[in-house]
Structure 1
Amino acid sequence: MNKNKKSENKNKKSEEIEDKEVQSNEALEEQVEKPEKDEEIDFQDKYMRLYAEFDNFRKRTMREKAELIGSASSDIMLQLLPLIDDFDRADANATDDAKALKEGIDLIRAKFVSTLNSKGLKAMDAKEGDDFDLDKHEAIANVPAPSEDLKGKIVDIVEKGYMLGDKVLRYSKVVIGS
């Protein structure tokens, strides 16, 4: 019986050791899992904050862009108001004198062009006889060339082209000789 008791004691001790090892392993797993969960929560928090910050940045830049466009538009409109005033004055002082009317219109046009030029608008120089350039001209018709040297060249300019800075705002509409 002594042997049985010893054997039972050994079994109990073995079970106790195994239980302690299992508990120890579980405790270690919890210790390992807890920092992983904390890191995961921390990463999720950082991700959400970064996402919210980017979303706010995107909204702010869109709002600033809209304000800038509105500001630029109001600036141009403010500079065009004197032209309306000039037209109103010309209408109020209209006479039957065609020459005076033409001079008034020419002055208003010059002021208008000057205002647009101050904003960077430039008329493109296109003349009859110039070579056709796809980067500056839009061919709207092809007609028989009046002379041999005008074949493939500009025969007529229907509308002037304009550039805003280095960008073509409107292509010159031209007729090409064939």
Structure 2
Amino acid sequence: MKDFKNIRAEQEEDRSSNEPANDNEGVDFTDQAVDAEEMTGALEGIQAELADQKERYLRLYAEFDNFKRRNARERAELIQTAGKEVITSLLDVLDDCDRAEKQIKEDDVHDDPIHEGVLLIFNKLKNILSAKGLKSMDCIGQEFNPDEQEALSQVPVTDEKLRGKVIDEIVKGYYLNDKIIRHAKVVVGA
């Protein structure tokens, strides 16, 4: 029986040595309070940095979104005006076509098939340019507008209604997609 009592006593000793010691023994709570304050300060610093990063992200996202919209708008504008130089160089040819058409209509020979063919070609050219966004200015009889027209001269008028209005158009003005590509050169009533 002695062995049994010795074994039991040893087991109780082992249990008592394996039991956790009281946590309050030998621990300085002031160190833990300081650590908690440091952790709280670090947490606040990290939260502030996170807020700054979120704000920076939102600004960059908005800036990138504006860039995409501006780029799309510029691309659409570039596509619309891509042929501006070609169309501008064709304006002199179009003026010659208008003069030739006017001359053909003034001639006495209206049944000439050559004249009809030339008029068809002129109309086809005008329709193609119109489909590309070219539009002529209607100036005669309108109020003079220095933003769209260039006054080459002034002519005295007897009718007060014609004063300040366009009397004659020397060179036609044109719009390309609602932007002026050539100002009209006009004579204004004075």
Give the structure-2-normalised TM-score: 0.49
Q: How many matched pairs?
A: 135
**2:167: which partner in 1?**
155
Q: CA RMSD in A?
A: 3.9
Q: How does 1:11-160 map to 2 (within 5 A)?
A: 23=31, 26-65=34-73, 67-69=75-77, 71-72=79-80, 105-127=118-140, 130-134=141-145, 137-145=148-156, 147-149=157-159, 150-160=162-172
CA 1:148–1:102 in structure 2 vs 1: closer, same or farther (change >3 Å)?
A: same
Structure 1 residue 59: deviation in Å? 4.7
Paired residues of 2:153 and 2:187 also in contact (CA < 8 A): yes
Alignment partners' CA distance in 1, 2:77 and 2:150? 33
- Secondary structure of the structure 1 residue equivalent to 2:151: strand
Cα distance, 1:114 vs structure 2: 0.8
Secondary structure of the residue aligned to 1:142 is strand
Whose helix fraction is larger, Structure 1's or Structure 2's?
A: 1
Given that 1:161 and 1:172 are in contact with CA atoms closer than 8 Å, whether structure 2 keeps it comes out as: yes
Query: C-alpha distance in 1, partners of 2:128/2:42?
Result: 70
**Percent identity of equivalent pairs:** 24
Quick one: distance in 2 between partners of 1:176 and 1:50? 56
TM-superposed deviation, 1:148: 0.9
SS at structure 1 position matched to 2:168? strand
Contact 2:139 2:169 in 1 (8 A): yes
CA 1:142–1:121 in structure 2 vs 1: closer, same or farther (change >3 Å)? same
Per the normalisation by structure 1, the TM-score is 0.52
Distance in 2 (CA, whole Å) between partners of 1:141 and 1:53 is 53
Whole-Å separation in 2 of the counterparts to 1:148 and 1:113: 36
Query: How far apart in 2 are the matches of 1:144 and 1:68?
Result: 43
**Structure 2 unaligned runs (5+)?**
1-27, 91-111
